[in-house]
Structure 1
Amino acid sequence: MRANVVLIGAAVAALAVLVAMPLGFVALQAIFPQLAQGSLAAPLSHLAGTLGDPRLVELTLNTLKLGAGVVLAAAAIGIPLGTLRGLFALPAARLWDVLMLVPFMIPPYISALGWIMLLQPRGYLQQLLGIHAGPALFSFGGVVFVMTLNVVPVVYFAVSRTMAASGSRLALVGRVCGGGAWRCFLRITLPLALPGIAASLLLVFAMAIEEYGTPAALAANAGFFVLVTGIERRFSEWPIDLPGASVLSLILVALAMLAFAWQRRIVRGHGYETTTGKPMRGEALALGAWRWPVVALFALVAGIATFAPLFAIAATAFSRTLSGGLALGNMSLVHLQAIAASGSDALRALLTSLALGLGAAAVTGVVGVLVAYCVVKTRTRGRVVLDALAVLPNTMPGVVVGVGLILAWNQGFWPATPYNTWGILLLAYCCLLLPYPVRYSQAALMQIGDSLEAAARVHGAGMQTALIRILLPLLLPSLAAAMLLVFAVASRELVASLLLAPTGVQTVSLFIWRQFEQGSIGQGMAMSLVTVAVTTTVMLGATIWLERRQAGSAV
């Protein structure tokens, strides 16, 4: 019992610092319009004007439409591919994992710009094939298309790792008992994976409704605006409307909480677990005659999601001038040479981003396991509140989290503060990205019965020993996938970095952004290319090391 109290206390303290403080100050700003001036006067005096804005209903409906569209498209792509990866012996499986992760590591604003340069009139596709898709790209459908390719790895990795953990052995038992292949999949394998699928789709919805760069770049000219673009306008246009932006942010939170409640409703009553107390991975199934069609499907998705935007990024990075197009005489290393010439600035930005990404992955991994364990494996009152608080950051735009951290930590009563240090960036990344390890760990814990932990306790092991020696190794595949996603996002996060980076601290995203501001699009794309290459190498090495470690442990 005492160990339970310690774990719960640690989880509550971590959530209070990482989540409750910044989001609480955003809520206070929404209530007290003069909070930034240090006054609590005239509470809610601005509410009528904000809620009475006739554009608010349109912004809200557009946000729901965009979130639903991205969720449906990501599910249509990620669930089948994740199932094939998790259950079957897929040729070159590691390669497909890397290729599926690369789109997630490309910053959304860079990806959108890459698609613009590829599909716009006189873009790279028209230069190669004589056709373009400008009208389709600059529309609601184009936003859904680009955003889906960016977030589909969330669904793919959640489904593949969950399917791999539950394995095919139980489904094979069902086949022996007379069940058909599809019946066993729908009645055995799919229910075991349902928590992971629901968790990943909730994250996709939250990411879709809080993304700013892609809707602003692709659909603004078509008149399609969402809540997050409305929030950005209130921050950027004079007079700055912090209270109004905070109110719109709380509406975003409400939308995400509705999705959260819907997810719990879907999962409630479907908490399947293996009777042995742990997942049982069987041998990967042979694809047989479907081997090459499945490989062709993965190649098609990888070609569209990975190679198409990378081609546009690389073509821009290696082009001397944009107006010169894809002509051989226009190819040059001038932009990479310019980055190398900047020397310490570019290298420092890269090392800073890698260090912050690794730090955010480590912190959120530890906190995520603690929160998931308290929610799934204890009967503590307030578990639903902990769960909701852990998913809240994914419902808030990075700009709002940044403002919340400024309001929270830029107060005179603190004896010490991380404000204006690299620590404030780490807090921002951990706040924004905590839902990944929480959701992935919860999905894995829901598949692990209580018998193994109970057996360890009967034989004298304490809760800490049972957690570290039994549950954590079983959680490792899902947790490692979540931490890799945290690393990928943190190493290229932009909005919070723009607001919070102290003087003298520059991340990769800031370096790229400033190159674009200066009109050096080629140098920005060159730095993007270098960053993707470095982060992919780091993540590939981490994945290989984890797989070898697991294989060694199994032996």
Structure 2
Amino acid sequence: MSDQFMVKKRTQAVPLGLVLPVILLVLLTSLPLFYILLRAHEAGWSQAVSLIFRPRVYHLLLNTLQLLAMVTLLSTLIGVTTAWLIERTDIPKRKLWNALVTLPFAVPAFISSYSWISIFPQLEGLGGAVLVLTLCNYPLLHLPVAAALRGMDSALEETSHSLGFNRTQTFFKVILPQLRPALFGGAILIALHMLAEFGALAFLNYETFTTAIFDQYYVAFDGASAAMLTLVLLLLCLMVIGLELLLRGKRHYAITRQGTSGEIEMLRLGWLKPLAVLGLLLLVALAAGVPLGIIGYWLFTGSSSAFHGQAVISALTTTLSFGLSGAVLTSGLALPLVFLAVRYQGRLSTLAERLPYFIHSLPGLVIGLTLVFFAIRYVFPLYQTTPLLLIGYAILYLPLAQSTTRAALVQVSSQLEEVARSLGKNALSVFMRITLPLIAPGVGAGLALVFLQIMKELTATLLLRPTGVETLATKVWEHTSNAEYGASAPYAALLIVISGLPVYLLTMRSFGRNTRQA
């Protein structure tokens, strides 16, 4: 029976237990759209058209597209290079490097931006924004690509070599096509991050749609104008998602692991090894070393650097609690969504898979205002509660869990699940005993990504947190906004350190496969 026939067959009989949670998730992620359309409707058609078609919007469009294209391209080049060096070469201390190259993602972009500006004030504008945001976001490519390389069947490369293809030909003809889901998934996340980024751009004095929306809400108090700008931002997001779908195509990437040793042939770098190590060291120094150095400077020389132990411990505990709870919730929601999209293709699965990416382009400010609006009007007991905040995190960061989980699931052959069902196992048992262990690296990478993002999330947390509750990110923002850089240093340092710990643990656990030297 062909894969195409099996896909069609399963499309006609999607389990109800899979459909219901996905429908609820679609309704939940649709709330920001309803909110934006409602606020835009209040402005009226004539005012809406005049707000959209004006010179300022064209200026914002150009700025946003330039930033998106440059950061996405550079992050892709860096992420693929680091993943290949760590997963396919004999570079020493691969486990440690895998953790270190993802550490920059733990540094909040607004901390990195101020750190660089304090050293080089001339970095304001597009150049500074591209530098800082590339250094902060390339791990979004490294993690899914590394997970895909780690989970790839070694028989593919062995077969290619046996047919006479050299390493370069094998990479472009065999490995790179298998990396397409991870590459496009990571690239679209970076592009959408550029559409939604605020904190770093505010420090770098680079204006995009997100900073303009913030100004309209908080400075001009013009909800209608902000809603129109948000609609344009959503159209940009739709274009990005459409381009990703077009490039990805309809190819299947499932791999049946049969008759393979499971070993990966590692490339000997030889005289290039010192250069590779130096390159990774320079990357980590620029992306994480500079912010850490400036934080150390604030901590020891800032006039406002008095250490308030109780406040720091409280913020740390709250941050860990929110990060872990939000990551588990988001990753759990991503599982049925991704499984439906990959195994049961249809209109519902397509909508459910793409909608979170669409919403992910919205600034946290918009998500926060959406949930505040609906909570006050319809479910007031949820207003300013932890569950509402966790829901906001799930809406914001569901694509992070989707991307890495999908990249892992498409490499698991559906034939394995079919065989297990033919032996009398139910769907849940098959998933828990066969599918989940195989996609665990992807799920783990998604869990780490969501945890890291929640740890440093700012705008939605400011709006949705329970009264009086502070996180490390909100305390950093509070003190830096008041130019109390010494006071912000303990919170910023803790935020970076504890954000790196889960990534280190996950990457250490992921190195379980045997390797051999080429």
Structure 1 equivalent of residue 7 of structure 2: none
Match for residue 363 of structure 2 among 397, 410, 430: 397
Structure 2 equivalent of residue 229 of structure 1: 211
Give CA deviations for 1:488-515 in whole Å, capped at 9, x if unaligned. Answer: 1101111111222231211111112222
Structure 2 equivalent of residue 292 of structure 1: 274
Structure 1 residues 11 and 97: CA distance shift in structure 2, 3 A: same
Structure 1: runs of 5 or more not aligned: 34-42, 121-133, 322-333
Tell me by how many angstroms 1:65 deviates.
Answer: 1.1
How far apart, CA to CA, are the structure 2 residues paired with 1:192 and 1:279? Answer: 17
Q: Secondary structure at the match of 1:519?
A: coil
How far apart, CA to CA, are the structure 2 residues paired with 1:509 and 1:542? Answer: 23
**Structure 1 residue 10 corresponds to structure 2 residue 18:** no
- Report 1 or 2 for greater relative contact order, CA contacts < 8 Å, sequence distance ≥ 6: 2
Match for residue 182 of structure 2 among 167, 176, 196: 196
Give CA deviations for 1:18-61 in whole Å, capped at 9, x if unaligned. Answer: x122332222222234xxxxxxxxx4453123113321111112
Native 8 Å contact 2:153 2:255 kept in 1:
no
Structure 1 residues 278 and 464: CA distance shift in structure 2, 3 A: farther
Structure 1 residues 26 and 506: CA distance shift in structure 2, 3 A: same
Structure 1 residues 517 and 226: CA distance shift in structure 2, 3 A: closer
Native 8 Å contact 2:91 2:269 kept in 1:
no
Tell me by how many angstroms 1:159 deviates.
Answer: 1.0
Counterpart of 1:8, as a letter, is: V
Structure 2: runs of 5 or more not aligned: 1-9
Give CA deviations for 1:418-450 in whole Å, capped at 9, x if unaligned. Answer: 211122221111111110111211122222221
Counterpart of 1:454, as a letter, is: E
Structure 2 equivalent of residue 185 of structure 1: 171
Q: Secondary structure at the match of 1:287?
A: coil
Counterpart of 1:461, as a letter, is: K
Native 8 Å contact 2:473 2:491 kept in 1:
no
Counterpart of 1:138, as a letter, is: E
How far apart, CA to CA, are the structure 1 residues paired with 2:301 and 2:261? Answer: 52
Q: How do 1:244-393 residues align onto structure 2 when only pairs under 5 Å count?
A: 244-276=225-257, 281-289=262-270, 290-321=272-303, 335=305, 338-339=306-307, 342-393=308-359
Counterpart of 2:224, as a letter, is: P
How far apart, CA to CA, are the structure 1 residues paired with 2:488 and 2:249? Answer: 47
How far apart, CA to CA, are the structure 2 residues paired with 1:59 and 1:407? Answer: 27
How far apart, CA to CA, are the structure 2 residues paired with 1:348 and 1:252? Answer: 36
Q: Secondary structure at the match of 2:138?
A: helix
Structure 2 equivalent of residue 487 of structure 1: 451
**Structure 1 residue 477 corresponds to structure 2 residue 441:** yes
Counterpart of 2:434, as a letter, is: I
Tell me by how many angstroms 1:167 deviates.
Answer: 4.7
Structure 1 residues 288 and 370: CA distance shift in structure 2, 3 A: same
Tell me by how many angstroms 1:275 deviates.
Answer: 4.0
Structure 1 equivalent of residue 98 of structure 2: 97
Native 8 Å contact 1:276 1:451 kept in 2:
no
Structure 2 equivalent of residue 69 of structure 1: 70
Moved more, 1-10 or 368-377: 1-10
Structure 1 residues 237 and 53: CA distance shift in structure 2, 3 A: farther
TM-score, length of structure 1 as denominator length: 0.86
Native 8 Å contact 2:312 2:490 kept in 1:
no
Tell me by how many angstroms 1:400 deviates.
Answer: 0.8
How far apart, CA to CA, are the structure 2 residues paired with 1:66 and 1:474? Answer: 36
Native 8 Å contact 1:165 1:281 kept in 2:
no
Tell me by how many angstroms 1:229 deviates.
Answer: 1.5
Structure 2 equivalent of residue 329 of structure 1: none
Native 8 Å contact 1:365 1:437 kept in 2:
yes
Aligned length: 502
Match for residue 450 of structure 1 among 407, 414, 424: 414
Structure 1 equivalent of residue 150 of structure 2: 164
- RMSD over aligned CA atoms reads 2.2
Tell me by how many angstroms 1:538 deviates.
Answer: 4.2
Structure 1 residues 318 and 280: CA distance shift in structure 2, 3 A: farther
How far apart, CA to CA, are the structure 1 residues paired with 2:260 and 2:368? Answer: 40
Structure 1 residues 194 and 316: CA distance shift in structure 2, 3 A: same
Tell me by how many angstroms 1:543 deviates.
Answer: 4.3
Tell me by how many angstroms 1:145 deviates.
Answer: 0.7
Give CA deviations for 1:183-228 in whole Å, capped at 9, x if unaligned. Answer: 111111111111100110000000012111222222x3xxx52111
Tell me by how many angstroms 1:269 deviates.
Answer: 3.9
How far apart, CA to CA, are the structure 2 residues paired with 1:138 and 1:151? Answer: 18
Native 8 Å contact 1:22 1:407 kept in 2:
no
Native 8 Å contact 1:100 1:302 kept in 2:
yes
How far apart, CA to CA, are the structure 1 residues paired with 2:101 and 2:286? Answer: 11
Counterpart of 1:162, as a letter, is: A
Give CA deviations for 1:380-399 in whole Å, capped at 9, x if unaligned. Answer: 43222111212123210111
